[in-house]
Amino acid sequence: MRYEKQTLVIISLISIIAISQCTKIEGTDNDVKDTSLEMQTKMNDGKQSVIEQGKQIFRFDTFGDEDFWSGLLHIDKAILGEANGGYGAGVSPNTALAVGLKVDAEALPPEVVAGITSGAISLDDPKSTIALLKLNAVVGVRGNFDPGGTTLQSIGITCASCHSTVDNSFAEGVGKRLDGWPNRDLNVGAIVSLTDNALPIANMLHVSEPDLRNILSLWGPGKYPAILFMDGQAFRPDGKIAANLIPAAFGLKGIDLTTYTGWGDISYWNSFVANLEMHGKGNFSDPRLNDPKYPIAVENQFYNVVNNPDLITSKLPALRAYQHSLDAPKPPANSFNQAAAGKGKAIFLTKAKCASCHALPLYADNILHTSTEIGIDDFDAQRSPTGKYRTTPLGGLFAKSKGGYYHDGRFSSLADVVNHYNDHMSLQLTTTEKQNLVEFLKSL
């Protein structure tokens, strides 16, 4: 047997040498290098193509959710207003901006920009909103028009409605897209409240319609209670509304668990949201939802959703590729004290023990933690299948600051977060050390 193995090794070596000689005979070393570069270019082009596909999905794909937002809730009719074939006063651009919707300035042709600037285009007229929808300029809202392009027939929402904002370079709420940034101005409750048909949602949650509308009014800007539509818990035990901050969709490459309480990876959560929150038409399965702790999910069989055709599943890889291409943004250089931040980093890595969970380079550890470990209540943790909280990555904190910190915004400032851990972990940080630590966090 030993000799047979040696013979095989010798034959393999001879084959390798022969192949390498043939390569040199057929072309020069430069030819080989050129071929390698060509292959690498094709691979990069292919990767970029997938990312570009994901970008289009993220920005514009509704996954067929028009049947919910228009067919059931009639939000398209609310936008139109009675004067344009809908109901109510209609939704003007100013009204849309007031509830946190954003406008992509790069989608506006020069004549529209000039009209808005001069006042010739009224921002108080629902017809202007219809025109913006026709231009695909309302971030995260897709308008569908008749073949002639004159009549708004339905609207749907996309990932970008919650997970994109704009840089306000043209006006407040109007500018270049910032994909992956959480829209902490978006008042989802106010938008859903536009419906003239809230009863189906109220019935699903087993509350009266007035109670539902009250709940919607309490969410506020930048918050959304995804798990409400699984377990029906609208309020916390302390009586406060149970709604969590809209999370960022940037800086997630390498992050295993993309939700506050670790429900699953990015593709799982994209599927969960597209099917169960956006109400798109796809296939979704999670036996964990077939549990008495999720009575709404059990009653509506959200644990096993089947649609034919499936408009979601095939798009998840490209969507993930685009989201993973979105790096955490860097804060403006003048937004923090650089010298203090340098000192704060040393505190972060040593005395403050921050890196024990927020490990570099991800500033996260991909580990679930109990509420006792982090010194808070376990209300939201117990609503998840894990019963724990995941470590949130810290990159781009400045872009996630509106609405507060932690999953529910319970800490209004970074100083509050530092003070919490100083007390909970008995760190005995000095006032200066705390200040330096805050400056470092602001630099991430």
The residue-averaged pLDDT of 204-211 equals 97
Residues ≥6 apart with Cβ < 8 Å to 274:
63, 65, 159, 280, 282, 312
The residue-averaged pLDDT of 236-253 equals 97
pLDDT > 50? residue 1: no
What is the pairing mode between strands 103-104 and 174-175?
parallel
For the stretch 140-166, pLDDT in tens is 999 999 998 889 999 999 999 999 999
| Better-scored residue on pLDDT, 3 or 326 | 326
The predicted pLDDT at position 32 comes to 43
Question: Does pTM surpass 0.85?
Answer: yes
155 in Cβ contact with 75 (< 8 Å): yes
The predicted pLDDT at position 370 comes to 98
Q: How confident is the model at residue 48 (pLDDT cuts 50, 70, 90)?
A: confident
Average model confidence (pLDDT) for the chain? 91
Q: Of 120, 155, 153, 123, which is closest to residue 136 (Cα–Cα)?
A: 155
The residue-averaged pLDDT of 86-92 equals 97
> Nearest 5°: CA angle at 396, between 169 and 222?
70
Distance between CA atoms of residues 363 and 254, nearest Å? 11
Q: Classify 222 as helix, strand or coil.
A: coil
Distance between CA atoms of residues 290 and 293, nearest Å? 9
The predicted pLDDT at position 37 comes to 55
Instruction: Classify residue 45 as exposed, middle or buried by CB count within 10 Å of its CB (0-12, 13-18, 19+).
Output: exposed
292 in Cβ contact with 298 (< 8 Å): yes
Distance between CA atoms of residues 32 and 203, nearest Å? 67
Q: Classify 304 as helix, strand or coil.
A: strand
Cα separations (Å) of 33 from 27, 36, 37, 47, 88? 10, 5, 6, 21, 67
Question: What DSSP assignment string belongs to 113-153?
Answer: HHHHHHT-S-TT-HHHHHHHHHTT-BTTEEEEE-TTS-SEE
Q: Of 103, 110, 178, which is closest to residue 137 (Cα–Cα)?
A: 103
Q: How confident is the model at residue 4 (pLDDT cuts 50, 70, 90)?
A: very low
Least confident of 56-60, 119-123, 436-440: 119-123
| Better-scored residue on pLDDT, 31 or 370 | 370
pLDDT > 50? residue 17: no
For the stretch 102-136, pLDDT in tens is 999 999 999 999 999 999 999 999 999 999 999 99
Give residue 146's Cα distance to chain centre: 30
Least confident of 30-44, 303-317, 323-337, 391-405: 30-44
Q: How confident is the model at residue 13 (pLDDT cuts 50, 70, 90)?
A: very low
Q: Classify 250 as helix, strand or coil.
A: coil
187 in Cβ contact with 99 (< 8 Å): yes
Q: Of 302, 325, 314, which is closest to residue 267 (Cα–Cα)?
A: 314
Domains and CATH numbers, the chain: 49-172 (no CATH), 333-443 (1.10.760.10)
pLDDT > 90? residue 195: yes
Instruction: Classify residue 410 as exposed, middle or buried by CB count within 10 Å of its CB (0-12, 13-18, 19+).
Output: middle
Share of the chain above pLDDT 70, in %: 89
Give residue 310's Cα distance to chain centre: 22
The residue-averaged pLDDT of 370-379 equals 97
The predicted pLDDT at position 11 comes to 33
Cα separations (Å) of 348 from 206, 280, 301, 437, 441? 47, 42, 45, 6, 9
Distance between CA atoms of residues 248 and 90, nearest Å? 30
